[in-house]
């Protein structure tokens, strides 16, 4: 390894992150403001509350850690939260390098992939956002590094359980992730016993770490809520007759029966109660979403593909909306026309980068389907981790977002995997020996 080059890229990448949060004004809005409000309440020892009430509408991981970071720093300034993001993003860079070195020994893959990730516009800009994206990506990177590391299993599996629990408390769909970890073990080693041990240990440790929060939810809301109570809300909002884009829409605009609408109005007290505090909506809307999907399979498939298109091929508009939304008029040296032109050019080129990564990264998944199937059904065939890690993880997220919700910022935790897939695809084209490259790790 040329450690001088790696060090320069790392330092410049971190400085770009710092420079962005220090010079580009941005304010939390929508869910991002909710995270900040909860973190501030934790800072003031008011617990995990919102508008004076206990809340579990979304995963507690990010606002809780952020709240305790605010306590550590002695203030709850938004800039402090952005500095927390810079720390997580910098650690993600280091973990990504460690992952690359475990997946392959090819410098022609390691250097370009690491450079792209260090300078990726999204991974720089999102440090400006009080949101889960940077934090959960750090946890996800740590999980994948643990999977490919040389740590002994008696350390690896419990640590995996702890980090998966942290990810699940931030994004609840990670509760299913121990199955994927066990699948990777089985497809690499063909050892059923090893896979079962992995599934059992990671699953039990994850459940143990999550148990206090689940118990807290039972005490506060009177029913079993492992992490959050918004899955039914998300399912119904994104899967109903009035949804035409596969993404979020206002709750009062969704198509439901009049009986359900009356129950919703009663729970929300005709608009007087925040839907983020109305935990009673979850079972009601979950049932509505399930019924609609089962009775409208064709429309569900259409919305699912629209969701994936929104995630991967809708450009980089999210950077402007979530990471640079307070820029205009903040003592900038440009006229409004120059500002708009420069912003549009930046978003345009960032969108091109995302489109390239999505096209080649997802192509990598499709090209690896055959070796993946062979590894599943042929005991004598074991796929390499360079195939398994990007392909299975991308497939896992694709399945989740196909059912629930898709928008541009949801591709954020996957971008480092898309970078790997893209660089390997380019290496295939350059060398013309796909099998040798894939098995070289």
Which residues, listed in sequence order, are joined to residue 53 by a DSSP beta bridge? 50
Q: Which residue has the tokens 């959050």?
A: 228
Residue 182 pLDDT: 95
What is residue 392's predicted lDDT score, i.e. its pLDDT?
Answer: 94
b or e along 201-237 (b: 16 or more beta carbons within 10 Å of the residue's beta carbon)? bbbebbbebbeebbebbeebbeeebbbbbbbbbbbbb
Tell me the C-alpha distance between 371 and 362, whole Å.
Answer: 15
Instruction: Give per-residue pLDDT as tens, 183-218.
Output: 999 988 878 899 999 999 999 999 999 999 999 999
| CA atoms within a 13 Å half-sphere pointing along the CA-CB vector of 247 | 12
Residue labelled with tokens 């280091």: 94
Tell whether 268 is covered by a domain.
yes
Q: Is residue 263 part of a domain?
A: yes
Q: Are 142 and 156 in contact (CB under 8 A)?
A: no
Q: Does the residue 387 lie in any domain? A: no
Question: Does the residue 208 lie in any domain?
Answer: no
Q: What domain count does the chain have?
A: 1
Query: Cβ distance 410 to 234 under 8 Å?
Result: no
Q: Kindly tell me the sign of the dihedral angle through the C-alpha atoms of 47, 49, 51, 52.
A: negative
Specify the residue for token string 């979850």. 282
Q: Which residues of the chain have a pLDDT value below 70?
A: 1, 328-333, 432-441
CA-CA-CA-CA torsion sign (405, 409, 413, 417): positive
Assigned token pair, 304: 């699912």
CA distance 134 to 131: 7
How far apart are alpha carbons 24 and 432 in whole angstroms? 43
- Quote the domain boundaries for residue 257: 230-298
Quote the pLDDT of residue 333: 67
Q: Has residue 307 been placed in a domain?
A: no
* DSSP result, 346-400: HHHHHHHHHHHHHHHHHHHHHHTHHHHHHHHH-TT----HHHHHHHHHHHHHHHH
User: What are residue 49's DSSP bridge partners?
Assistant: 54
Residue 386: count of CB within 10 angstroms of its CB: 25
Residue 65 in any domain: the answer is no
Q: Tokens for 376, please give them.
A: 């599943």
Q: Which two tokens stand for residue 180?
A: 């994927």
Q: Which residues pair with 300 in a beta bridge?
A: none
Please state, in angstroms and rounded to a whole number, the distance separating the CA atoms of residues 209 and 80.
27
State how far the Cα of 319 lies from the Cα of 311, in Å rounded to an integer: 13
Can you tell me the distance from the alpha carbon of 314 to that of 351, in angstroms, rounded to the nearest whole number? 8
Enumerate the β-bridge partners of residue 54. 49
Helix, strand, coil percent content, the chain, rounded in steps of 5: 75, 0, 25
Q: Is residue 196 part of a domain?
A: no
The answer to whether position 241 is within a domain reads yes
Burial class (CB in 10 A: 0-12, 13-18, 19+), 178: buried
pTM, rounded to two decimals: 0.94
Angle, helices 369-377/336-367, rounded to nearest 10 degrees: 40
């Amino acid at each position: 390894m040329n450690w001088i080059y790696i060090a320069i890229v790392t330092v410049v990448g971190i400085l770009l992150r710092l420079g962005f949060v220090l010079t580009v004004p941005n304010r939390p809005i929508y869910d991002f403001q909710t995270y900040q409000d909860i973190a501030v309440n934790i800072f003031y020892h008011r617990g995990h509350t919102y508008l004076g009430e206990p809340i579990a509408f979304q995963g507690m991981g990010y606002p809780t850690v952020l709240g305790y970071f605010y306590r550590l720093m002695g203030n709850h300034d938004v800039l402090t939260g952005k500095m927390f993001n810079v720390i997580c993003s910098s650690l993600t860079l280091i973990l990504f390098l460690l992952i690359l070195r475990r997946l392959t020994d090819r410098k022609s893959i390691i250097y370009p992939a690491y450079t792209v990730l260090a300078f990726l516009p999204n991974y720089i800009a999102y440090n400006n956002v009080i949101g889960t994206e940077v934090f959960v990506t750090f946890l996800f990177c740590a999980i994948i590094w643990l999977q490919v590391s040389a740590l002994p299993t008696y350390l690896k599996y419990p640590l995996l359980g702890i980090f998966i629990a942290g990810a699940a408390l931030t994004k609840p769909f990670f509760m299913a992730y121990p199955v994927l970890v066990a699948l990777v073990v089985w497809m690499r080693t063909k050892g059923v016993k090893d896979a079962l041990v992995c599934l059992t240990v990671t699953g039990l440790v994850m459940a143990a770490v999550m148990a206090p929060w689940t118990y807290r939810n039972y005490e506060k809301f009177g029913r079993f809520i492992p992490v959050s109570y918004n899955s039914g809300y998300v399912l119904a909002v994104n899967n109903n007759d009035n949804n035409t884009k596969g993404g979020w829409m206002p709750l009062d605009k969704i198509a439901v029966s009049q009986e359900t609408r009356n129950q919703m109005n009663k729970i929300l007290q005709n608009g007087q109660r925040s839907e983020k505090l109305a935990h009673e909506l979850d079972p009601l809307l979950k049932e509505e979403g399930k019924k609609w999907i089962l009775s409208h399979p064709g429309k569900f498939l259409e919305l699912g593909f629209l969701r994936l298109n929104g995630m991967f091929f809708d450009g980089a508009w999210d950077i402007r909306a979530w990471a640079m939304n307070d820029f205009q008029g903040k003592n900038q040296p440009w006229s409004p026309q120059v500002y708009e032109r420069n912003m549009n050019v930046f978003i345009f080129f960032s969108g091109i980068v995302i489109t390239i990564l999505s096209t080649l990264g997802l192509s990598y998944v499709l090209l690896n389907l055959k070796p993946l199937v062979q590894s599943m059904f042929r005991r004598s065939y074991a796929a390499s981790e360079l195939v398994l890690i990007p392909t299975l993880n991308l497939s896992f997220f694709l399945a989740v977002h196909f059912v629930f919700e898709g928008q541009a910022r949801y591709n954020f935790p996957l971008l480092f995997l898309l970078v790997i897939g893209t660089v390997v695809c380019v290496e295939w084209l350059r060398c013309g020996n796909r099998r040798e490259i894939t098995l070289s790790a």
